Structure 1
Amino acid sequence: MLKRLIDLLIAVTAFLIGWPILLNLALIVRLQLGSPILFSQLRPGKDGRIFRMYKFRSMTSAVDSGGNLLPDEQRLTRFGHFLRSTSLDELPGLFNVLKGDMSIVGPRPLLPEYLPLYNVRQARRHEVRPGITGWAQVNGRNTLSWEDKFELDVWYVEHQSFWLDVKIIFMTAFKVIKRKDINQQGEATMSKFAGSDCLGNKD
């Protein structure tokens, strides 16, 4: 209950103080990348419940001659990279926090297609609400392997506390200022998770 109240306090305060930034970013996204301004995608939340997550759009919709989307690295513009490196693209996620789909701190919500690929331990990341930032994000983010990232997520589930959340929020601010650990080496974004047998059974 305390965590939910803190989430609401932070989200409401951020909207009240930051609405000019949100409006200006929305306008710039519209001018730089076109519409839609927001990127939305279905993601699993607590207990695997599916919700729609919102972010500012950071990629173009460029396609090849066959109508297929170009690779991420070709669609990620300089402005889109700026949004990601500063985590400004995550600001619309505050709406998900207000709705109760997400928390400020928790494991990042991933793709629904990963749900059957988790082993028993990895699946524990869904015992709590997903977060805008999390323990894995401040300890390597996209430079980590999937297995290391999931282990950090589960460690957070097992050790979550008010003071740990405060620590993660301050560490997140430092990471954003330094713009560290945004992409996996050699990738514009994190490569897809294909499953892992190293941390337990999948059933």
Structure 2
Amino acid sequence: MSVNARSREGDHEGEVLKRLFDIGGAAIALVLLSPVVLVVSVVVICTHGWPILFVQQRPGLHGRPFRILKFRTMRNAVDAAGALKPDAERLTGVGKFLRSSSLDELPALVNVLVGDMSLVGPRPLLMRYLPLYSARQARRHDVRPGITGWAQVNGRNLLTWEEKFEMDVWYVENWSFWLDLKILLRTIVNVLHRKGISASGEATMPEFRGSGPRSGSATD
């Protein structure tokens, strides 16, 4: 067997192991955290109204779109012209707590179960960012997006977009089962310490507007 064939076989085995871990981990988490999910659902509907879930199309593996599920953290407040107010004005105290504790991410465990996401991987961002990535940055879509990731445990929203994307690509190039376990453990620590919730002066992160001229397609 050639080196390339052994490498492909190892990659396939790694993908199967990662997927099995995702299914088992998400299923166990949903069962154990079902009382928390119920309580958060009630709190969200009392503070933000219906619906309790934020559903939005995001790019998944190879940039293919899927619908991510989260608990709502903002009210649907609009200005006099009927346009949504800025995130900072719509984000509620309850919403800030849900984000800082990562409780808003619990519904995304369903995305993991159905195969749209992984427990660990680059965070799924907005569809409109796809044409803005450089060819290297677009490699973040070579794996399933994750609920948490290497960038999330190394600064999260305190990082610049370029720093985040470089960490995403580093994860893609250096993935291992043990790296995923390390990221999950560091995620728990970061959640307990409420680290990196938002960029300075922003409710979350400023809009990504690109890093310069592109040299390839974001969806290749």
What's the TM-score, normalizing by structure 1?
Answer: 0.97
Indicate whether 1:76 and 2:71 are aligned: no
Which of 131, 156, 159 lines up with 2:174 in the alignment? 159
1:119 to 110, 134, 153: 134
Distance 2:166 2:216 in 1: 15
Match for 1:137 among 135, 152, 171? 152
Gaps in structure 2 of 5+ consecutive residues: 1-15
CA displacement 1:121-157 (0-9 Å, x = unmatched): 0000000000000000000101111000000000000
Deviation, 1:16, is 1.2
CA distance in 1, matches of 2:103, 2:85: 24
Letter in 2 for 1:56: F
Alignment of 1:94 onto 2:117: no
| Distance in 1 between residues matched to 2:128 and 2:91, nearest whole Å | 23
Gaps of 5+ in 1: none
Match of 1:8 in 2: 23
Letter in 2 for 1:170: L
1:46 aligns with 2:46: no
Out of 185, 192, 195, the position equivalent to 1:177 is 192
Aligned-pair distance for 1:202? Answer: 4.4
Alpha-carbon distance in 1 for matches of 2:27, 2:74: 28
Amino acid at match of 2:215: N
- Which whole-Å CA distance do the structure 1 matches of 2:215 and 2:157 have between them? 25
Separation (CA, whole Å) in 2 of partners of 1:174 and 1:16: 22
Cα distance in 2 for residues equivalent to 1:201 and 1:143: 27
- Return the alpha-carbon distance in structure 2 between the equivalents of residues 53 and 140 of structure 1: 23
Cα distance in 1, alignment partners of residues 109 and 60 from structure 2: 15
* 1:193 aligned to which of 208, 212, 215: 208
Structure label with greater radius of gyration: 2
Give the whole-Å Cα distance in 2 for the aligned partners of 1:80 and 1:72: 11
Asked if the contact 1:117/1:202 (under 8 Å) is kept, the reply is no
* Whole-angstrom distance in 1 between the partners of 2:148 and 2:74: 21
Aligned residues: 202
Q: Aligned equivalents of 1:202 and 1:111: distance in 2?
A: 19
Q: Select 2:122's aligned residue among 104, 107, 116.
A: 107
Instruction: Specify the code of the residue in structure 1 equivalent to 2:87.
Output: D
Over 4 Å off, 4+ runs: none
Q: Secondary structure at the match of 2:153?
A: helix
